[in-house]
Amino acid sequence: MAHKSKTQRAKAAVTKANRRERQERDEVAAEVAAAAKAEEMANKTPEEIKREQKAAEKAAVAAAKAEAKAKEKAKEAEKPKKKHFQFFRDVRAEMKRVTWPTRQDVLQWSGVVVAALIFFGVYVFILDSGIIVPVLRALAGLGA
């Protein structure tokens, strides 16, 4: 598995911190709402409590439906969208990260490559014409 870049790790850390902060806010809000509801329930009659429970059940059903719709929309949003010319933008960004050699380095290493080609060309020529061909001729003469 490939390692994440510094940018990806930083984005993930920010997302995680935001999620944690939102969760803490939601917990505090739930605690405050529960305390307010408990205080309110202490002052109500049993009929009012039943009416509120029915209303709460209806609200829970509506919230579940809304959550299901939200999940469907999230699934649609997760589908990759076609990004025209994204490949070319990625190539351009990647080319900016490349460390290009200097002119002197290119000339120096080109000389090394040409010298190696000449060396190995001469080596193979000598090996072929001086050793392999005479040995093959000698072996061919033995069978005749």
- Report pLDDT digits (tens) over 38-75: 777 677 777 877 888 888 888 888 888 888 888 887 77
Mean pLDDT of 27-44: 80
Q: Domain check: are 105 and 61 in the same one? A: no
Residue 80 lies in a domain: no
Q: Domain check: are 15 and 63 in the same one? A: yes
pLDDT over 60 (residue 1): no
**Last residue within a domain, chosen from 55, 72, 89:** 72
Residue 86 lies in a domain: no
Residue 57 lies in a domain: yes
Can you give the pLDDT at residue 53? 83
Cβ neighbours of 52 (radius 10 Å): 14
Cα-based distances in Å from 81 to 8, 68, 70, 90? 20, 22, 19, 16
pTM of this structure: 0.35
Can you give the pLDDT at residue 2? 67
CB 41 within 8 A of CB 49: yes
CB 31 within 8 A of CB 23: no
Model pLDDT for residues 121-131, shown as the tens digit of each residue: 999 999 999 88
What range defines the domain where residue 31 resides?
A: 1-72
